[in-house]
Structure 1
Amino acid sequence: MTEIVPDSEHRGLVARLPQRVRDLALLARFDRPVGWWLLFWPGAWGVALAGEAVNRWPLIAWLLAGSIAMRGAGCVYNDVVDRDLDRQVARTRSRPVASGRVSVRAAAIWLAVLLAAGLIVWLQLGWYARVVAIASIAPVAAYPFMKRITWWPQAWLGLVFSWAALVGWSEAWGTLALPGLLLYAGAIAWVIGYDTIYALQDIEDDALVGVRSSARALGGAVRSGVAGFYAAALVLWAAAFWTTRSDPLVLLALLPAAAHLGWQVATLRSADGANALARFRANRTTGLLVFLACVVVGTRL
Structure 2
Amino acid sequence: MSALPRSRFSLYLDLIRWDRPAGWLVCLWPTLSALWIAADGFPGWHLLAVFVLGTFFMRSAGCCVNDVADRDFDRHVKRTAARPVTSGAVSVKEALALGAVLALVSFGLVLTTNAAAIAWSVPAVLVAIAYPFSKRIISMPQAVLGIAFNFGIVIAFAAVQGQVPAVAWWMWLGNMFWVLAYDTEYAMVDRDDDLKIGIKTSAITLGRFDVAAIVLFYLLFLGIWGVALAPYGLGPLYWLATAAALAQGVWHWTLIRGRTREGCFKAFRVNHWLGATVFAGIAGSYLWRQIAIN
* TM-score in same-fold range (> 0.5): yes
Stretches of structure 1 that go unaligned for 5 or more consecutive residues are: 1-15
Cα distance in 2 between the residues matched to 1:267 and 1:54? 35
Tell me: CA distance 1:145–1:229, structure 2 relative to 1, closer, same or farther (3 Å): same
Partner of 2:34: 46
Aligned partners of 1:53 and 1:295 also within 8 Å: yes
**Aligned match for 1:286, one of 274, 283, 293:** 274
Is 1:154 the counterpart of 2:142? The answer is yes
Q: Look up the match of 1:265.
A: 253
Which of the residues 219, 225, 244 maps onto 1:231? 219
- 8 A Cα contact 1:154 1:192, kept in partner: yes
The alignment status of 1:24 with 2:28, answered yes or no, reads: no
Q: How far did residue 26 of structure 1 move?
A: 1.0
- Give, in whole Å, the separation in 2 of the partners of 1:247 and 1:17: 55
Which residue of structure 2 aligns with residue 128 of structure 1?
Answer: 116
Partner residue of 1:90 out of 46, 54, 78: 78
Distance 1:287 1:293, change over 3 A: same
Q: Is contact 1:45–1:168 with CA below 8 Å preserved after alignment? A: no
Greater Cα shift, 20-29 or 44-53: 44-53
Whether the 8 Å CA contact 1:182–1:236 is kept in 2: the answer is yes
| Offset of residue 160 of structure 1 | 0.7
Q: Is the 8 A contact 2:16 2:64 kept in 1?
A: yes
Q: CA deviation at 1:250?
A: 5.9
Gaps of 5+ in 2: none
Query: Hey, what's the Cα distance between the residues in 2 that align with 1:146 and 1:294?
Result: 33
Distance 1:90 1:55, change over 3 A: closer
Contact 1:203 1:216 in 2 (8 A): yes
Q: In 2, Cα distance between the equivalents of 1:261 and 1:17? A: 42
- 2:38/2:157 contact within 8 Å kept: yes
Q: Give the whole-Å Cα distance in 2 for the aligned partners of 1:248 and 1:65.
A: 31
1:164 and 2:155 equivalent? no
Distance (whole Å) between structure 2 residues aligned to residue 18 and residue 99 of structure 1: 13
Distance 2:204 2:77 in 1: 15
Map of 2:51 onto structure 1: 63
Whether the 8 Å contact between 2:234 and 2:286 is mirrored in structure 1 is: no
Distance 2:173 2:202 in 1: 18
Q: Residues 148-188 of structure 1: CA distance to partner in whole angstroms, max 9, x if unpaired?
A: 11110111111111210111122223321121111111111
Judge conservation of contact 1:76–1:111 (CA < 8 Å) in 2. Answer: yes
Task: Encode CA deviations 1:220-260: one digit per residue, 9 max, x unaligned.
Answer: 22110101111111121012212434989964552222222
1:100 counterpart letter in structure 2: G
Q: 1:189 aligns with which of 174, 177, 193?
A: 177
Cα distance in structure 2, aligned partners of 1:177 and 1:298: 20
Q: State the AA in 2 paired with 1:279.
A: A
Determine if contact 1:253/1:296 at 8 Å carries over to the other structure: no
Q: Is the 8 A contact 2:68 2:95 kept in 1?
A: yes
Question: Alpha carbons of 1:134 and 1:245: their partners in 2 closer, same or farther (altered >3 Å)?
Answer: farther
Alignment TM-score, normalising by the size of structure 2? 0.90
Kindly tell me the number of residue pairs found equivalent between the two proteins: 286
Change beyond 3 A, Cα 1:156–1:55: closer
Change in Cα spacing, 1:211 to 1:127, as seen in structure 2 (3 Å) is: same
Query: In the TM superposition, what is the alpha-carbon distance from 1:20 to its structure 2 partner?
Result: 2.1
Q: Contact 2:178–2:217 (CA<8 Å) still a contact in 1?
A: yes
Q: Which residue of 2 aligns with 1:10?
A: none
TM-score by length of 1: 0.88
Q: Relative contact order, CA 8 A, sep 6+: which one is greater? A: 1
| RMSD (Å) for aligned C-alpha atoms | 2.2
Q: Is the 8 A contact 1:43 1:60 kept in 2?
A: no
Structure 1 vs Structure 2: percent identity of aligned residues?
33
